[in-house]
Structure 1
Amino acid sequence: MAPPAGQIRPGRYLAFFALIVVALYALVFFTGDGKPTPKLGIDLQGGTRVTLTARTPDGGQPSRESLNQARQIIETRVNGIGVSGAKVVLDGNNVVITVPGEGGEQAKNLGRTAKLGFRKVINAQPVTPQQAPPPANGQQPPPASGQPSQPGQPPQGGQAPQGGGSGAGAAPQQGQPTPPPSDGSVDEQTAKEIQAARAQRQNPALVPAEGDQAGAAVAQQLQAQAMAALQCGAADPLQGNDDPNLPLVACDDKGTEKYVLGPVFLDGTEVDNAQSSPPAQGKAGWTVDMQFKSKGTEIWRDFTSKNVQQRAAFVLDTKVQSAPTIQNAIIDGKTQISGQFTQAETKNLADILKYGSLPLSFASSDATTVSATLGLASLQAGLIAGGIGLALVFLYCLVYYRLLGALTILSLALSAVIVYAVLVLLGRWIGFTLDLAGVAGFIIAIGITADSFVVFFERLKDEVREGRSFRSAVPRGWVRAKRTILASDAILFLASAVLYALAVGEVQGFAFTLGMSTVLDLIVVFLVTHPLVALAAKSKTLSKPKLTGLGGVQELGAQRRSAKSAAAAVKEA
């Protein structure tokens, strides 16, 4: 005779659940760092939250595509500098970087570097002691020469294979400097500073057209004046606001050299990869190996073939990061920058070349160090509230369901065991951090899990009320209950997924934990609660009405059976 619909072998399900628990905790204790603790968010362990406000050169509204691209690049930078547990999310036109624990100081500088471009060096001169920061007044530099000066430690361009491309160092566009943003993205004083800096340092006449002798004399005079006026140690109003189509007068990142640079001939977004390499045989310092994308390779090949023994500057937010001399034409875009570099210097330069280019300029509008004290106090209050709610659930289940209520408590405890292990592993594998919103999601999930048990138990009562025994009611009640449980959990999971997709920040953490708890609820109900109830139904001792709390329902069922039997007897007579 076939078993009733829904009949199971409880031992197999419980063994499978035990295997899952053992596997999870084996991963917790024997993989990664072996620490059985989940990662905590900024509100639970403290940290730094940096808000970067996007701005465009024309002061307009940044596109969503540009914001998403900037967020991805900043996130890559965060990962590149080794900051652990950081989150980078969009909030309107802002990029919010959240770094729990230590290491927040590095995050404060992530929005400082926005635009990377390659410019031809037209003129260069070292900063004299009188010009070095702090700036001194009244010191006029010597007249600029038409040839670029050689830096103290000139890096050299290396060999390469692949190329093609468009020309570089073309005559700059004529016209007046672009006016600063006028939509309120900067204050009036800052706008005036930007306009003055552009007029002085981005004058198209700084680079004359080829063959223009009169223009060359004027250009030398303007170059000398612009470099004399530029103070390398002062705050730069053009940072993130320079026009890539115009020449630029700029300092290097260390404030030791000044440059007159041509327009940007190659955008930093064309850099495909860059990495630092240890000294090769016969070379004294570390090197940077750089590779361009296909379009960038063509432009770089064309530029290097036309400018052998000239210098190309890598400019990041109006600061020259490096200005190597081109030793020979680079064909395939594989470029090696060499010189008397230390490991730290090449690592920094490689990171700038790889992660430095953003489609937007950002201003750091807020950088806050968050203490964990308030978060821990809120967590304590939340856990107390959750504990009170859990105790009330336990009390209700024990009074109303008795033995079945005890199985509910056991199921919730086993659910917590799985949740904890999953939290630890998700923190290691995907960097998931538990914050207050996530804790709220778990507390709400307690009620959802308990609701699944209630649905099952009430279906059992319905079957017993129909006149069936406890043992025969379990498989039939489960068949009816699991449909309701699956439907309700599917709706809740879908709602959590939609909320996660549309929300940002802490709300995403709430949606994630709620959705994860919903999935784990199904695992516990199917692999633990149902098998335990089936085992209890097979035991003569555990299935007694006094223990199950089904005595009154069974009496009602017996009365219905008697009424049906009497009705059947009368009908036969």
Structure 2
Amino acid sequence: MASPSGAVRPARSLVIFGLIVAALYALVFFTGDKSPTPKLGIDLQGGTRVTLTARTPDGSTPSQDSLRRAQEIIETRVNGLGVSGSEVVIDGDNLVITVPGDDSSQARTLGQTARLYIRPVLGSQAAGAAQTAPPTTPEAPAAETPAPEPATEAPEPQNRPFPAQAQEPTTEAPAATTTEAPAPDATQVPEGTSQTDEAAAEIAAAKATRQSTDPAVQQQAMASLDCSASDPLQGNDDPTLPLVACSTDGTTVYLLGPSIIDGQEIADATSAFNSQQARHEVSLEFKSDASNTWAQFTSANIGKQAAFTLDSKVVSAPVIQGATPAGSATSITGNFTATSAKELANTLKYGSLPLSFEASEAETVSATLGLASLEAGLIAGAIGLVLVLLYCLIYYRMLGILTALSLILSGLLVYAIMVLLGRYIGFTLDLAGIAGLIIGIGMTADSFVVYFERIKDEMREGRSFRSAVPRGWARARRTILSGNAVSFIAAAVLYVLAVGQVRGFAFTLGLTTILDVVVVFLVTHPLVHLASKSAFWSKPSVNGLGAVTEVARERKTAAASAQVKES
């Protein structure tokens, strides 16, 4: 690296590179799960496959357009950066999600319908104690704060807005709604498979009890609701009706009023750690209309409780501590880990699915073929690398050692970054990504060749090795930057336009292109500059530039002879 005055400070450049490598490996070994290995893709480590079966409220067959939109949303959730290595495919009327590793919870989370509603809490009680502890009445929702939610009731975290008229829907709903709701259970289910009929009947029966406007039916639903069983109403609840729902941890049953704010009004969702409350939270920003409504309801319902429901379950039921100004963000709190908070924020950020899904049992996907391909590829790559290094040693002599050292340091840098990307953004390394890395490292070797050939050009003009290095670098760096810029643009375009594993290839290719510039500027050029100052490295027999020096002498002799003849 050159200073403004034109002086080269190789020691400073090498120290900077050393600090970068040290910082990366400090993060690798002392942060996160401290695993020093990259995450592997499905084709290299196998994975877990979960089949999602669509459930429509009327039991009809889901349209292919709805399935395609659900596929796109799930792909966006899991591949927000395009490098997670997961697969989402349509199989008939189902979606099949395959994720790397043996943890099926991630695939199941991806299938969340993500229908978020903010509902007022009209009553609550501990699950399993319903027969002896009737729910609070709608007239006094603030008098009973559920014991199982201590983490969400801490004073003065983010404020949340809720409706002033939260209790009105239980008295305004027409009686016809409660008397007619059970009818679809047996008579209005469309023709189809028995599984479809059964699903439609379960949804209709759940709505008839858990979304009734009759207080007696509501209390009976709270008394009989089993929070440990699968929820047939998941993602299919009517936001305009009351709802009896369980908390996500299954400890509390809530009676909720009609929805005030729809999750479709979410403008952005992020996860963060609240250091003051020592807990993970999901921060939400609403669009303008919902934000204004939110501010009005907050000011009118201080001290009352309300619920964030996701797919018919209560994620959090905090107490409103104060009014929230319009445009301010709010937080969903609960028993979140860093991973679960991030997954929920990602799910809410990219929107709800057009269908609700029921997940099947997880299946293990073998990686035998991928591992065999990886082994063959690594052997081929090692052979190719050895041949390249032998060629450099024969052609460039000791300069080939500098090439080998630069490639090794580049490999160390790439490896640490792969580990950290897998840890922090879910990057998984598959065969396509490895191909991108190999091509990128090959481009790094190309940069060395460009540099060395520029030096040889300068020496053919009669300059010494010492004077040829800075002149050759001045000419080579423009070529190196131009070549890498073209490669990076190509990788960026491919990343934007491609899907699936091709995006992983483009990502690693672009990453190694950037690292090529870092290695050449901070390692290769400083090392060559130091070599040019050494009497040992300046020997033609050592640096392999003897033939070039001989050509320079012949040219000089020929020029001198021509001058003598002219005179």
> Residues 467 and 242 (structure 1 numbering): CA distance in 2 closer, same or farther, change over 3 Å?
same
Q: Equivalent of 2:561, from 562, 566, 569?
A: 566
Partners in 1 of 2:495 and 2:413 — Cα distance? 22
1:188-242, CA deviations, whole angstroms, 9 ceiling, x for partnerless residues?
Answer: 65654555456555469x867xxxxxxxxxx689889999999988755432123
Asked whether the 8 Å contact 2:435–2:505 carries over to 1, the reply is yes
User: Could you tell me which residue of structure 2 aligns to residue 299 of structure 1?
Assistant: 297
The Cα shift of 1:456 comes to 1.8
Q: Post-superposition shift, 1:145?
A: 12
5 Å-filtered alignment, 1:194-213, equals 195-197=200-202, 200=205, 202=207
SS in 2 for 1:155: coil
Q: CA 1:468–1:240 in structure 2 vs 1: closer, same or farther (change >3 Å)?
A: same
CA distance in 2, matches of 1:106, 1:290: 21
Query: Partner residue of 2:330?
Result: none
The Cα shift of 1:164 comes to 8.3
In structure 2, the partner of 1:108 is: 108
Residue pair 1:123, 1:148 contacting (<8 A) in 2 also: yes
1:390 Cα deviation (Å)?
0.3
User: Residue 275 of structure 1 contacts residue 347 of structure 1 at CA under 8 Å; is this kept in 2?
Assistant: no
State the shift of 1:16 in Å.
Answer: 2.8
CA deviation profile, 1:47-68 (whole Å, cap 9, x unmatched): 6466879999896857999999
Give CA-to-partner distance per residue, 1:163-194, whole Å, 9 cap, x none. Answer: 785634344599999x9xxxxxx976565455
Equivalent-residue separation in structure 2 for 1:313 and 1:15 (angstroms): 57
State the Cα deviation string for residues 66-93 of structure 1 (Å, max 9, x = none): 99998898899xxxxxxxxx95979689
Structure 1 CA distance for aligned equivalents of residues 165 and 508 of structure 2: 54
Counterpart of 1:284 in structure 2 is: none
1:75, 1:446 → 2: CA distance? Answer: 25
Residue type of the alignment partner of 1:359 = S
User: Does the CA-based 8 Å contact 2:126-2:146 persist in structure 1?
Assistant: no
Instruction: Report the Cα offset of residue 31 of structure 1.
Output: 8.1
Report matched runs for 1:73-472 at 5 Å: 87=84, 98=99, 100=101, 104-105=104-105, 108-109=108-109, 111-112=111-112, 114-119=114-119, 155=146, 167-168=165-166, 169-170=168-169, 171-172=172-173, 192-193=197-198, 195-197=200-202, 200=205, 202=207, 236-246=231-241, 263-267=258-262, 294=291, 295-299=293-297, 302=300, 315-319=309-313, 332=323, 347=335, 359-360=352-353, 361-363=355-357, 364=359, 367-370=362-365, 376-424=371-419, 432=427, 434-472=429-467
Could you say if the C-alpha distance between residues 469 and 251 of structure 1 is closer, same or farther in structure 2, counting changes exceeding 3 Å?
Answer: closer
Amino acid at match of 2:492: A
Residue 347 of structure 1: SS of its match in structure 2? coil
Cα-to-partner distance string for 1:351-394 (whole Å, 9 max, x where unaligned): 89x86966335534795545666655443333212111101101
Q: Which shifted more, 449-458 or 65-74?
A: 65-74
Q: 1:97 to 1:565 in 2, by over 3 A?
A: same
Q: What's the CA shift for 1:444? A: 1.7
2:108 alignment partner AA = K
Shift of the alpha carbon at 1:526? 2.8
In structure 2, the partner of 1:474 is 469
Structure 1 CA distance for aligned equivalents of residues 173 and 490 of structure 2: 55
Partners of 1:240 and 1:362 within 8 A in 2: yes
Question: Is structure 2 residue 26 aligned with structure 1 residue 25?
Answer: no
2:506 maps to 511
The answer on whether the counterparts of 2:454 and 2:476 sit within 8 Å (CA) in structure 1 is yes
Q: Distance in 1 between matches of 2:534 and 2:522?
A: 19
- Rounded Cα–Cα distance in structure 2 between residues aligned with 1:48 and 1:249: 33
**Does structure 2 retain, via aligned residues, the 8 Å contact 1:7–1:475?**
no
Q: 1:373, 1:202 → 2: CA distance?
A: 47
What is the CA distance between 1:569 and its match in structure 2?
3.6
- The 8 Å contact of residues 172 and 262 in structure 1, kept in 2 or not, is answered as no
Distance 2:464 2:18 in 1: 33
Displacement of 1:487 in angstroms is 0.7
Query: Does the Cα contact within 8 Å between 2:234 and 2:312 map onto a contact in 1?
Result: yes
Residue 441 of structure 1: SS of its match in structure 2? Answer: helix
Q: Classify 1:380/1:362 alpha carbon distance in 2 versus 1 (closer, same or farther; 3 Å).
A: farther
Backbone CA RMSD of aligned residues? 6.1
* Residue identity matched to 1:39: P
* Equivalent residues of 1:56, 1:62 under 8 A apart: no
Query: Secondary structure, in 3 states, of the residue corresponding to 2:512?
Result: helix
Q: TM-score, normalised by structure 2?
A: 0.64
Name whichever of 249-258 and 425-434 sits farther off.
Answer: 249-258
1:409 positional shift: 1.9
* Residues 147 and 384 of structure 1: CA distance in aligned 2, closer, same or farther (over 3 Å): same
The one-letter code sitting in structure 2 at the alignment partner of 1:115 is: R
Asked if the contact 2:13/2:526 (under 8 Å) is kept, the reply is no
Residues 223 and 520 (structure 1), Cα distance of their counterparts in 2 relative to 1, 3 Å cut: closer
Question: 2:328 matched to which residue of 1?
Answer: none
Q: Note if contact 1:193-1:237 (Cα within 8 Å) is conserved in structure 2.
A: no
- Given that residues 250 and 320 in structure 1 are in contact (C-alpha distance below 8 angstroms), is that contact kept between their aligned partners in structure 2? yes
Structure 2 counterpart SS, 1:565: helix
Work out whether residues 117 and 262 of structure 2, in 8 Å CA contact, stay in contact via their aligned partners in 1.
Answer: yes
Pairwise CA distance, 1:28: 2.6
Please give the TM-score of this superposition, normalised by the length of structure 1: 0.63
C-alpha deviation, 1:346, in angstroms: 6.2
The farther-off stretch of 559-568 and 25-34 is 25-34
Q: Distance in 2 between matches of 1:531 and 1:257?
A: 65
Alignment check: 8 A CA contact 2:71 2:88 kept? no
Q: Match for 1:476: what amino acid?
A: R
Q: Which residue of 1 aligns with 2:277?
A: none
* 3-state SS, counterpart of residue 296 of structure 1: helix
Larger mean CA deviation between 386-395 and 90-99 belongs to 90-99
Confirm or deny: 8 A CA contact 1:536 1:542 kept in the other structure.
Answer: yes
More displaced 10-residue stretch of structure 1: 442-451 or 56-65: 56-65
Secondary structure of 1:37's aligned partner: coil
Query: Which amino acid is the alignment partner of residue 394 of structure 1?
Result: L
The gaps in structure 1 that reach 5 residues or longer are 1-5, 77-85, 133-140, 180-185, 209-218, 278-287, 335-344
Contact 2:397–2:542 (Cα < 8 Å) also in 1: yes
| SS of 1:117 mapped into structure 2 | strand
* Mapping for residues 40-59 of structure 1, pairs under 5 Å: 40-43=39-42, 48=48
Q: 1:289 to 1:148 in 2, by over 3 A?
A: farther
In 2, Cα distance between equivalents of 1:150 and 1:162: 19
> Match for 1:398: what amino acid?
L
Paired amino acid for 2:115? K
Mapped partners of 1:320, 1:24: distance in 2: 45
Alpha-carbon spacing, 1:414–1:359, altered in 2? closer, same or farther (3 Å): closer
Which region of structure 1 is more displaced relative to structure 2, 395-404 or 458-467? 458-467
Letter in 2 for 1:347: N
Q: What is the one-letter code of the residue matched to 1:527?
A: L
In the alignment, is residue 37 of structure 1 matched against residue 30 of structure 2?
no
Matched AA of 2:311: D
Shift of 1:430: 5.6
| SS of corresponding position for 1:41 | coil
String of CA shifts for 1:249-271, please: whole Å, max 9, x gaps.
76787999998865434446789
